[in-house]
Amino acid sequence: MSTIALGDQALPLDVPGLRRLTAPPSAGTGPDRAGLLAPLLRALDGARRPVLLVPDHTRAPGALWALPALCAAAPRARVVIASGTHAPMTPGAVRAHLPAPVPRDRVHVHDVTRGPYADLGDGHAILRLVADADVVVAVSQMVLHYLAGFGGGRKMLFPGVACAQTARWVHAASLSATSRGRPATVALGVLDENPLHARIEALCHRLTGELWGVCSVLEGGRLVDATAGELFAHHRELAVRYRANKTVSVTARPNRVVVSAGPASSSRDLVQAHKALYTAAQLCAEGGQILLVAGLGDRAPGAVERLVADRDADSLLADALHDFAIPKQTAWSIKDILARFEVTVCSPLAPARVHRWGARAIAPGALPATVRAWCADDDETVWLDSGPVRFVFGAQSARR
Q: What are the tens digits of pLDDT across the range 207-217?
A: 999 999 999 99
Provide the 8-state DSSP code for 369: H
Name the domain count of the chain.
2
Residues 79 and 219 in one domain: yes
Most confident of 256-265, 323-332, 391-400: 323-332
Which of residues 219, 245, 271 is at a domain's end?
245
Residue 93 is predicted with a pLDDT of 94
Residues 93 and 150 in one domain: yes
CA distance 40 to 133: 15
Residue 220 is predicted with a pLDDT of 81
What Rg do the C-alpha atoms of the chain give, in angstroms? 21
Tell me the whole-structure pTM to 2 decimals.
Answer: 0.90
Please report, for the domain that includes residue 227, its CATH number: 3.40.50.11440
Instruction: Kindly report, residue by residue over 220-248, the tens digit of the pLDDT.
Output: 888 999 999 999 999 999 999 999 999 99
CA atoms within 13 A on the CB side of 359: 30
- Phi, psi (degrees; rounded to nearest 5) at 384: -80, 90
CA distance 50 to 73: 10
Q: Is the pLDDT of residue 178 over 90?
A: no
Q: Is the pLDDT of residue 182 over 60?
A: yes
Q: Is residue 201 part of a domain?
A: yes
Residue 1 is predicted with a pLDDT of 80
Residues 168 and 58 in one domain: yes
CA atoms within 13 A on the CB side of 246: 25
44 within 8 A of 137, measured Cβ to Cβ: yes
Q: How many residues does the chain have?
A: 400
Residues 125 and 157 in one domain: yes
Residues 223 and 96 in one domain: yes
Please report, for the domain that includes residue 329, its CATH number: 3.90.226.30
Residues 264 and 310 in one domain: yes
Residue 124 is predicted with a pLDDT of 98
3-state secondary structure of 298: coil
Which of residues 201, 217, 245 is at a domain's end?
245
Q: Is residue 28 part of a domain?
A: no
Residue 399 is predicted with a pLDDT of 39
Peptide bond into 368 cis (omega under 30): no
Residues 91 and 44 in one domain: yes
Residues 325 and 384 in one domain: yes
Q: Is the pLDDT of residue 396 over 60?
A: no
Which of residues 245, 280, 298 is at a domain's end?
245
Residues 260 and 154 in one domain: no
Instruction: Kindly report, residue by residue over 53-74, the tens digit of the pLDDT.
Output: 999 998 889 999 999 999 999 9
Residues 138 and 192 in one domain: yes
How many Cβ atoms sit within 10 Å of the Cβ of residue 285? 15
Question: How far, CA to CA in Å, does 55 sit from each of 52, 93, 210, 338?
Answer: 10, 13, 19, 31
What range does the domain containing 105 cover?
Answer: 33-245
Q: Is the pLDDT of residue 203 over 60?
A: yes
